[in-house]
Amino acid sequence: MFTSNLGIFSELNSEYRRTAGLPPVSTLPAEGAPATFGTVICFTLIYTMMFELFVMGGPLFMGLITLTFLIALIVATVNAFAIFGGGEEAAKGLLRLSYVKSIGLLALVLGVLGQMIGLYSAFEAIQEMGSVSPAMLAGGLKVSSITTIWGLICYVLCLLVYLGLSAVAKKQ
């Protein structure tokens, strides 16, 4: 099972290396080789795809959304230590835990704002060009959706962190 998937990842990695101007990798692991080679390839592909999406979505809004998400994780961590520390700080930490939801919602709103600005720019370009092919229009809509999808992912993760910490704190 692993070796059949390895061929697909090898082809994708070769294509990426060819387009990036990197030298090809000429050897694959033997039949009984550990799965770490495939894991490295998978993580490399995921990282490159995420980096490409980050750049396609626009570094400004993707960076703001990511920064907002990191702030939410820091707030969640600080409040988790306060909650599990006990005492009167636990009650304050539980109240401040709702900030994680709000910060996650800010990430979602930033994603929607990024999409709206991207759509506005795309429609402005279409207006200047006159007629546009449906494929080009679909590509523009796809690219403009990246920030909203990333903001939504961050919001869902923030909600999961909030719900998980709230449930654990209420059991204490």
> What digits encode the pLDDT tens for the residues 64-86?
999 999 999 999 999 999 888 87
Nearest by Cα to 106 from 80, 62, 69: 69
Phi/psi of residue 43, each to 5°?
-65, -35
Higher per-residue confidence, 72 vs 17: 72
H-run or E-run covering 18: helix 2-20
Average pLDDT over every residue of 40-62: 81
CA distance 146 to 149: 5
CA distance 97 to 75: 8
Question: Could you identify the residue written with the tokens 């539980």?
Answer: 94
The reported pTM is 0.70
Question: Could you identify the residue written with the tokens 């230590």?
Answer: 81
Contacts 24+ apart (CB under 8 A), 113-117: 113/61, 113/147, 114/57, 114/58, 114/60, 114/61, 114/62, 114/64, 114/65, 114/144, 114/147, 114/148, 114/151, 115/144, 115/145, 115/147, 115/148, 117/61
- Is the confidence at residue 47, as pLDDT, over 50? yes
Higher per-residue confidence, 32 vs 51: 51
